Structure 1
Amino acid sequence: MRLVLTLGLVLVATFSAQAEEPFDLKAFAQHYYNTMVATQAPNAGTKELEAYLALLTDDIGNQHIPYQLDDSRTADGKELMRKGMSFYLGAHTLYESELLNTFIFNDSGFAIRYKNHAKGIHPQSKQPIEYTSVMMEVIEIENAKVAMIRKYHE
């Protein structure tokens, strides 16, 4: 009897584990956008940056056309993003963003198109900056994490 009960519990646990909710890519895309925008806010700090980086694979690839043409994924990709984003963290005195479109590509990726406006002081040149742009980010997903980011300007 114990054996039958144990076997029954194992089967229930197995089927319960397989019945997990599928990865909701549309909800993840919205979460990604909100988390990314939070890193651009004037009061953004390490907390916002780390929340964003938690969405990425360790070997994240990042390409920002036309500024960054290399789309290589390297073992230290997340650390390189941390270093690069930390340099600009808190540089904005104003940041506004509006999500215009979200496109879902089966379970392998999504694209977000958004308009942003920013003002601030460039951390290196100490010169005032201001820009408005429409961006498209094409995101590739692996194991529920962002594995590749490709940014394009309209």
Structure 2
Amino acid sequence: MKKWLLVSLCFVFSTTVFAHGDAKELDLKKFAQTYFDTMVKTQLPGTTPEALEDYLALLKDDIGHSHLPYVTDDSRQPDGKQAMRKGMTFYMGAHTEYKAELLNVFVFNHSAIAIRYKNSVKGIHPQNNQEIAYSQVMMEVLEIEDGKVAVIRKYHE
């Protein structure tokens, strides 16, 4: 009798844990919108280090990142987030104008999102002090792991 009681309690406990695990499953469509909104804030004129940290909080520490054709290696590195912080800090505040519109969100299983958006940019490049101005359609494919972005792949249309 004690064995049956123990087995029953284990079953109830395990199904309760499993049910709670499903309830906490990440809503990838909502996450995509949060990611987009947070990323856009890092590109606005007058952005802040806090906006950058809000964005980085969505990423795994060992994030992999490619931005073709500029960065082609999307290998995950132990210091991936730190490298992104350094790179994004260098370009922070370079834009005098930035507009972005989310065009599409695609969700794949529970492990990936693709966001497609159009952005228009004006500013001064921090490396050569040349004016920049462009509009483009971008797609970012985000691989999700443990509720955070593990790999980012950026493509231009």
1:127 aligned to 2:111? no
How many angstroms does 1:100 deviate by? 0.6
Question: What is the SS of the residue equivalent to 1:43?
Answer: coil
Letter in 2 for 1:110: I
Give 4+ residue runs of structure 1 displaced > 3 Å after superposition: none
Counterpart of 1:100? 103
Counterpart of 1:80? 83
Q: 1:91 to 1:21 in 2, by over 3 A?
A: same
How many angstroms does 1:18 deviate by? 4.0
Letter in 2 for 1:43: G
How many angstroms does 1:66 deviate by? 1.0
Query: Quick one: which of 10, 29, 39 aligns to 1:36?
Result: 39
Counterpart-to-counterpart distance in 2, 1:21 and 1:145: 14
Question: What is the SS of the residue equivalent to 1:107?
Answer: coil
Counterpart of 2:121? 118
Letter in 1 for 2:106: F
Gaps of 5+ in 1: 1-7
1:15 aligned to 2:11? no
* Structure 1 residues 66-95: Cα deviation after superposition (integer angstroms, max 9, x where no partner): 111111111000000000000000110000
Counterpart-to-counterpart distance in 2, 1:82 and 1:26: 25
**How many percent of aligned residue pairs carry the same amino acid?**
60
* Structure 1 residues 92-130: Cα deviation after superposition (integer angstroms, max 9, x where no partner): 000000001100001001000000001011111111111
Counterpart-to-counterpart distance in 1, 2:85 and 2:154: 17
Counterpart of 1:4? none
1:143 aligned to 2:138? no
Letter in 1 for 2:16: F
Letter in 1 for 2:53: E
Letter in 2 for 1:67: Y
Gaps of 5+ in 2: 1-8
Letter in 1 for 2:75: S
Letter in 1 for 2:124: I
Task: Give the CA RMSD over aligned residues.
Answer: 1.9
Letter in 2 for 1:79: Q
Aligned length: 146
Question: What is the SS of the residue equivalent to 2:43?
Answer: coil
